[in-house]
Amino acid sequence: MDTVFLRLRSIVFIVFICAFTQVQADQNHTSNTVLIVGDSLSAAYGVQTDEAWVALLRARLDEEGLENWQVVNASISGETTDGGLRRLPDLLEKHEPEVVVIELGGNDGLRGFPPTVIEKNLARMIEHVRDADAHPLLVGMQIPPNYGERYTRIFAGIFPKLAKRYDTGLVEFFLEGIYDQDGMMQSDGIHPTANAQSQLLANIWPELEPLLK
């Protein structure tokens, strides 16, 4: 009986060690994911992909010792909050991100969409991200003053209002230090140049970094 007991105990111990080792290996090889759901500002419109702020983010993660994070860029030029909201559930299921950067709303504003619709779409996106146990980061935008003082004011106020309501990270204005600087905007006056990409990253990094660490 003693011999049988010792053999059984040895087998149980070996199985436990193997299982523990596998769990540790899985944890050590886990890759965390930053999912970026944006428009042309994040889709490298008019610039080389390897010069865009998303590519610079990948390099910054390596520099900061965050090599275990991967970046998935699901941004599409011309994307609206409605389109982003429709695509988001599948993106969350496919990539299982820990952090989701929501960089949308600019095209809605340029097309004069009702602020209430923009706000509702962004709110639902934040809720989807939270339901997926991920952290949302909202990227704020402003539109040119020729759209009228009232509309531009209400539009700009959507982002801080949502950030406060849902207690999310917020980049107040993605184009800060870019939109009014020589050589930083393309000829269309809407899209940043290659020279501006590092500033885009500089604008988002202070809010993104805490979510990664």
- Which CATH number covers residue 206? 3.40.50.1110
The length of the chain in residues reads: 213
Burial class (CB in 10 A: 0-12, 13-18, 19+), 82: middle
- Residue pLDDT, tens place only, 48-64: 999 999 999 999 999 99
Instruction: Check: CB of residue 167 under 8 Å from CB of residue 148.
Output: no
Q: 13 and 87: one domain?
A: no
Distance CA 169, CA 27 (A): 27
Of these residues, 26, 167, 182, 188, which one is catalytic? 188
Distance CA 34, CA 17 (A): 33
Q: 26 and 91: one domain?
A: no
E strand or H helix at 103: strand 99-103
Start-end of H helices in the chain: 2-28, 53-63, 81-95, 106-110, 115-131, 149-166, 197-212
Bridge partners, residue 99, by sequence: 34, 135
Q: 19 and 85: one domain?
A: no
Q: 180 and 120: one domain?
A: yes
Q: 103 and 180: one domain?
A: yes
Q: 8 and 99: one domain?
A: no
Burial class (CB in 10 A: 0-12, 13-18, 19+), 72: middle
Distance CA 172, CA 42 (A): 16
Residue 15 has pLDDT above 90, yes or no: no
Q: 135 and 186: one domain?
A: yes
Residue 16 has pLDDT above 70, yes or no: no
Of these residues, 10, 31, 40, 180, which one is catalytic? 40
Q: 99 and 43: one domain?
A: yes
Residue 14 has pLDDT above 90, yes or no: no
Total-model pTM: 0.86
pLDDT of residue 60: 97
E strand or H helix at 36: strand 32-38
Answer yes or no: 188 catalytic: yes
Report phi then psi at 9, rounded to 5: -65, -35
Answer yes or no: 191 catalytic: yes
Total number of domains constituting the chain: 2
Of these residues, 29, 135, 191, 198, which one is catalytic? 191
Q: What count of other Cβ atoms lies within 10 Å of the Cβ of residue 184? A: 18
Q: 22 and 48: one domain?
A: no
Q: 122 and 139: one domain?
A: yes
Residue 96 has pLDDT above 60, yes or no: yes
Q: 22 and 116: one domain?
A: no
Mean pLDDT over the full length of the chain: 90
For 139, the 3-state DSSP assignment is strand
Instruction: Check: CB of residue 171 under 8 Å from CB of residue 207.
Output: yes
Q: 154 and 53: one domain?
A: yes
For residue 12, give its domain range. 1-30
pLDDT of residue 213: 84
- Residue pLDDT, tens place only, 152-196: 999 999 999 999 999 999 999 999 999 999 999 999 999 999 999
Answer yes or no: 10 catalytic: no
